[in-house]
């Protein structure tokens, strides 16, 4: 199906929380950057739905990428180092995954992958 026709089984509050965290991270990375941009796109790839959040912010160093999902690791003055860990757990509870790619000075791309709903086969509720 086209992205606008795709349906996934998910927890709306959990997905909202995950997206809010990823977009907030992107917005923080754009501080003091010329031409700040955040894009959110959706795609269907086989039986999976992708939600992609991209920014042209400061990006991350290799060391920062290696510690992304380490509890309490943060580069932010106000951060606690748990945001991405919580986000990944919320997505995992929906049988999804979170991948993050980043290049220092270029930006970051976060991709949420969720399985498409098979409502005809399972009778499960669509959201």
- Please give the residue that has the higher pLDDT: either 124 or 28: 28
From 5, 20, 21, select the one nearest 74 (Cα to Cα): 21
Band the pLDDT of 66: cuts 50, 70, 90. Answer: confident
Domain 3-117 has CATH 3.30.565.10: yes
**Angle (deg, nearest 10), helices 12-29 and 83-93:** 150
* Amino acid 40: pLDDT: 96
| Range name among 17-26, 50-59, 81-90, 118-127 with the lowest pLDDT average | 118-127
* Amino acid 80: pLDDT: 65
Q: What is the CB neighbour count within 10 angstroms for residue 82?
A: 14
Q: How many residues does the structure list for the chain?
A: 127
Contact 109, 53 (CB under 8 A): yes
Q: What are phi and psi of 109, to 5 degrees?
A: -130, 120
Tens-place pLDDT, residues 24-56: 999 989 988 889 999 999 999 989 999 999 999
* Amino acid 22: pLDDT: 96
């Amino acid at each position: 199906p086209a992205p606008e026709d795709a349906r996934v089984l998910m927890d709306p509050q959990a997905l909202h929380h995950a997206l809010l965290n990823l977009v907030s991270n992107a917005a923080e990375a754009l501080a003091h950057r010329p031409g700040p941009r955040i894009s959110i796109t959706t795609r269907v790839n086989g039986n999976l739905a992708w939600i992609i959040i991209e920014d042209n912010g400061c990006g991350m160093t290799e060391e920062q990428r290696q510690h992304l999902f380490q509890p309490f690791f943060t580069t932010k003055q106000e951060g606690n180092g748990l945001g991405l860990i919580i986000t990944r757990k919320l997505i995992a509870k929906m049988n999804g995954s979170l991948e993050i790619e980043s290049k220092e000075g270029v930006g970051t791309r976060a991709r949420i992958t969720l399985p498409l709903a098979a409502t005809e086969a399972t009778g499960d509720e669509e959201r």
